[in-house]
Structure 1
Amino acid sequence: MKRLFFILTTIIGLLQSPVQTINAQSMEKETPKQTSAFPTGDKLPEMFSKYFIGQAYLAPLTQNKALNCPISNVTFEPGCRNNWHSHTGGQILVAVGGRGYYQARGEAARLLLPGDVVEIPADVEHWHGAAPDSWFSHLAIECNPQTNRNIWLEPVDDRQYAGATQGNEAAGLKSTDPELAEIFNNFALGEVQQYGNLDAKTRTMVTLASNIASQAHTQYRMMLENALDAGVTPVEIKELLYQSVAYVGMAKVMDFVGVTNEVLVQHGVKLPLESQSVTSPETRFDKGLALQKSIFGERIEQMHATAPANQKHIQQYLSANCFGDYQTRTGLDVRMRELLTFSMLVSLGGCESQVKGHIQGNVNVGNGKDTLLAVVTQLLPYIGYPRSLNAIACLNEVIPE
């Protein structure tokens, strides 16, 4: 029966409401809530509940053991999740009520809404549970019941749960603006992520870049936790930060460096990281210019040649500093760096000329229109429609339909 428990997590409220609200939420959690047409069932017995943080309920739905297909409805109170675990025979989950999360080891957490199906292969370590502010129910279908066995592992602590369920309710939206929380969650973590073929890592990286450009400190901190869970390395995060200085400016990036260092240290990362620089004061210009030309072609030489005398120093800076100091560094490949630059410029707004130039740069390094449109779509909930539509207009001008 242990194999039947699935949980999924949504979004965390970092700023809680007054005591009255907290007490009301506690009372609500104590009363089992039927979230679907299926029964809620009884509290888990101690032999199972010891592997859960919070209270869950179990309602077996099938009785004929000869069919070899046990199905149960499992209901979780808000914030409830099970330990990391695996099934030797696999498991299938069907979300039927509320909102929850599922996370496989090394992957980003996946939001589950009614109708979503999760197919869990044998021996994949994972956890699942309810959103911090929502009851959640799913059908748990046991695969290969004759030989299937649960392997229970360590609990999902508060830090892991918060990082996995980061998102729109991080500012306590559930208690103050529940309609806004629901609208944003359904759009940003549901509808938008169904568009395009960006993998979880790329989605996270371009959103981090956008957060920096938009000065979205709270969102950046939450997304950073999610990035680490999605497999983004500390080096990749630092390289994104360093590159952003050239496009956003140190005055705006400095605070994000502090936030990043704080989160990395909390994750046990020893600072400073190993250097990724490949230039010296003597080579930075030549290497930067070579990289520029590899992305944008011979037009870079023309820009140097035709710049007015009193502005040639800016072209020198672009080659030596923007590209030589930052973009020649290892840790990120040129395709990812161009996507990050595009994400920052789109999010800054008022940079349409540079956006067009880097659209062509992206195409030249292998990021086609479909990829760039998927990036704009991913950023839409965070930067709004005007900047997104401006970006799409630039895309259509540089790469006509």
Structure 2
Amino acid sequence: MNKWKLMILLGLMATAVRAQNKQDQHKMITSFTDKGNEAHRENFTGTVWVNMNVKPDDGYNVNIGTVTFEPKARTNWHSHTSGQILFVVEGEGYYQEAGKPVRLIQKGDVVKIPKRVRHWHGASQQKAMRHIAMISNYDEDKTDWLEPVNDADYNSYATAANTGQIAGVSDMAHKNHEALWPGYESKAGQTDPELIAVFDNFAFDEVIAHDTMDIKIRTLMIMASTIGSQALTEYKMFVNAALNTGVTPVAIKEVVYQAVPYLGISKVIDFLNATNEIFKERGIALPLAGQSTTTPETRMEKGFAKQREIVGDRLDDMYKNSPKDLLHIQEFLSANCFGDYITRGGLDIKTRELVTLSFLIAMGGAESQV
């Protein structure tokens, strides 16, 4: 064999080794966040995705997989001779052992399932749930798949929550609260029932008794006020409330988008991310349909026209009386705030004005604009 043939052979061998190394690295490092493949329907109700992260043929005597349940999806009743451990990494769901009540499980929870115990687990009615499931001593394990979980068992947690009215909360306050968050179990109601009773009776009974506003509009305004006051936890609650009362995902997103010219993107981005997470949990596909009605060429003209529609003829005076070195600020207002945002679809002008009012009041320091 001459040296050229030898060099070619060595080159091919080196390429093969590199390719094999890449394959080995790919096997060693995988992602547990991928949804994987849709699970077989005979063992599940609803849509479930399974991503097997670690399998026995990887050389470990363990089976670890990421399981994603869309809302209302769940396993059949089943048991494992080796037991099972669940690590909830997203959303919320239910877990039940035979003969025991359904338990709520949420992100961060670890569920240790004893050996040979009949059980089931899955997502809640309104939120998706993702957990990592681990079975050790896999070579000795046997999973017995049994009958599907009937609706009575599955809904028993929400049914119990619906009847669990906090002591001191009026029937009307409870009813109005349920309209926003059906079956919601308040942790604060368990730790601080007196405060929740006082607050719920005022906010969900007395105040609403003097209010004829449509529930969808009211919910959007409260959502906007939580953005203005930077109350992220309550914002998440009211995004779910909005969806529960029939507000469209587009309308919710438009409230968030409209906050940008008033609060700034740095104060809005966390709320945008939270909205997207909730949409994903509830199976809402992203991105949503576009709502822009202007182009870079028309934003100034259409924005000015929309601003005049709202402000009236005094808009001409605002431009006329603006100092030359501040005129561009007026143009920013017309082109950006109105042209880029207020002209968008998804919300009518009246609702946008109410949303803006909610931003300004909650922000504070904007009394001259209220």
Q: What's the TM-score bracket when you normalise by the shorter of the two chains? A: 0.5 to 0.7
Closer/same/farther in 2, CA of residues 162 and 248 from structure 1, 3 Å limit = same
Counterpart for residue 399 of structure 1: none
- Distance in 2 (CA, whole Å) between partners of 1:351 and 1:180 is 31
- Distance in 1 (CA, whole Å) between partners of 2:107 and 2:277 is 19
Which amino acid counterpart does residue 249 of structure 1 have in structure 2? Answer: G
RMSD between aligned alpha carbons?
A: 3.6
CA shift for structure 1 position 301? 1.2
- Indicate the percent of aligned positions where both proteins have the same amino acid: 44
Matched, 1:253 2:256: no
- Distance in 1 (CA, whole Å) between partners of 2:202 and 2:183 is 15
Closer/same/farther in 2, CA of residues 14 and 81 from structure 1, 3 Å limit = farther
CA contact (8 A) 1:213 1:248 kept: yes
- Distance in 1 (CA, whole Å) between partners of 2:328 and 2:211 is 41
Matched, 1:200 2:263: no
CA shift for structure 1 position 331? 0.9
- Distance in 2 (CA, whole Å) between partners of 1:48 and 1:265 is 24
Which amino acid counterpart does residue 247 of structure 2 have in structure 1? Answer: V
**Deviating 4+ runs (over 3 angstroms):** 12-16, 47-52, 97-102
Equivalent of 2:174 in 105, 111, 115: 111
CA contact (8 A) 2:169 2:200 kept: no
Matched, 1:164 2:179: no
Counterpart for residue 79 of structure 1: 161
Superposed, 1:81-160 pairs within 5 Å as: 111-112=174-175
Matched, 1:333 2:348: yes
TM-score normalised to structure 1 length: 0.50
Q: Deviations over 1:267-312 (max 9, x none)?
A: 2111111111111111101100000101111111111111111111
Counterpart for residue 72 of structure 1: none
Structure 2 portions without partners, runs of 5+:
1-103, 109-149
Q: Deviations over 1:195-217 (max 9, x none)?
A: 12101101101000001001111
Which structure: larger Rg? 2
Counterpart for residue 311 of structure 1: 326
Closer/same/farther in 2, CA of residues 288 and 48 from structure 1, 3 Å limit = closer
Counterpart for residue 347 of structure 1: 362
Helix, strand or coil for the counterpart of 2:174?
A: strand
Helix, strand or coil for the counterpart of 2:335?
A: helix
- Distance in 2 (CA, whole Å) between partners of 1:243 and 1:289 is 17
Matched, 1:284 2:366: no
Which amino acid counterpart does residue 223 of structure 2 have in structure 1? Answer: L
- Distance in 1 (CA, whole Å) between partners of 2:189 and 2:106 is 11
- Distance in 2 (CA, whole Å) between partners of 1:330 and 1:271 is 17
- Distance in 2 (CA, whole Å) between partners of 1:331 and 1:49 is 38
Which amino acid counterpart does residue 111 of structure 1 have in structure 2? Answer: H
TM-score normalised to structure 2 length: 0.54
Q: How many residues are paired up?
A: 226
- Distance in 1 (CA, whole Å) between partners of 2:152 and 2:299 is 59
Helix, strand or coil for the counterpart of 1:111?
A: helix
Closer/same/farther in 2, CA of residues 111 and 174 from structure 1, 3 Å limit = closer
